[in-house]
Structure 1
Amino acid sequence: MSATPAGKPTAALDEATRPTVRLGLSLTPAQQAAGTHLRQIHDVFRAELTGLEARVGEVRRGEGSASDVRESVSQLAAALGAAGGTTLSQHCAQLCRFVTMHHSLEDSAMFPALGAHARVKPVVDRLAEEHVVIHEHLEHVDALASRVDADPDVLPDLEEAVGTFARVLRSHFTYEETELAEPLGLLGIM
């Protein structure tokens, strides 16, 4: 996948070409904990995406006030332990940083351990490729979010970009959870 000259990603993920790794194991509750932990981490991001989509939609529809949106983002930032975060663009930037950090940890720590196993390697390689695609979407959302305060005409583009980003990230999370639950549990990683 590549980006257009304006920085807009050209496509979403090609879900049909994703490799799978089904080991057919019956994991113990202790082994299932690793997959559960990964899903719980992703659930935090899913909630963030839902909140971001809702706020962008509210602004787009002219519902609520700007101060309500800023208050919501401020509460969200406080819940995440982050300082500041009082505008929609700051919230987008914060979410981008968290997702990038999460994927960097997976790429540097979890994926090498899992990828050492031949049956899991194609899935791990694909997930790492998807991180690149997701990063392109993140950059696009961040670029639009940084402009929306000064240029409200950018809001429709931001709304579309956030929607695409959310679909791509949710799809990636589901794929990762489905394919890595068994290997994580078997190998005791997480």
Structure 2
Amino acid sequence: MTDNRVKGMGDWLIEVHDWFRAELATLQSQAAAGEQLTPAKDLRANCVAFCGYLTRHHTGEDRGVFPMLARTHPELTEVIIRLEKEHEVVADIQHRIQALADAEAGRDHLVPELDRLAAELNAHLRYEEETIVAALNETPAPPMM
């Protein structure tokens, strides 16, 4: 028997978060691989791509998901404020990582920043999943035109 249910937005969000976790773990492994980052250009490209995807994801949440949740679930207002502030913290770390990647900095500089990003981002993703996934799954999909 086939399950014909539409996946909830919250379930989809968890899948996206899992992808970010896996990609960040890969970046950390690449950076920790040796004294010289080889090939540095590949690591730089991967860092830039990852940071770009994460920025677009957080921008989408800030501009679309969070305002929608604030309207449909006003009890989540404080949660949303916290999540938006956490986005700013993550963005600051991303900017440092991008600058280090652009400068082809050695692992001694890049690894601690990637570790800091992993700690901040993983805590943020866990909190977001604990606080808004159920509300997102309750939210009906917009009507198809």
TM-score interval, normalised by the smaller of the two chains: 0.7 to 0.9
Q: CA RMSD in A?
A: 2.3
The one-letter amino acid paired with 2:30 is R
Residue 136 of structure 1 is aligned with which of 86, 89, 92? 92
1:120 and 2:72 are equivalent in the alignment: no
Distance 1:158 1:189 in 2: 41
- Counterparts of 1:1-190 in structure 2, within 5 Å, are 33-60=8-35, 66=38, 69=39, 86-116=41-71, 117-148=73-104, 152=106, 155-188=107-140
Q: TM-score, normalised by structure 2?
A: 0.85
Distance 2:102 2:127 in 1: 30
The one-letter amino acid paired with 1:106 is E
The one-letter amino acid paired with 1:40 is E
Identity of aligned residues (%): 28
Distance 1:189 1:55 in 2: 39
- Structure 2 unaligned regions, length at least 5: none
Q: TM-score, normalised by structure 1?
A: 0.66
The one-letter amino acid paired with 1:112 is P
Distance 1:32 1:90 in 2: 32
- Structure 1 unaligned regions, length at least 5: 1-29, 71-85
Which structure has more helix as a fraction of its residues? 2
Aligned residues: 138
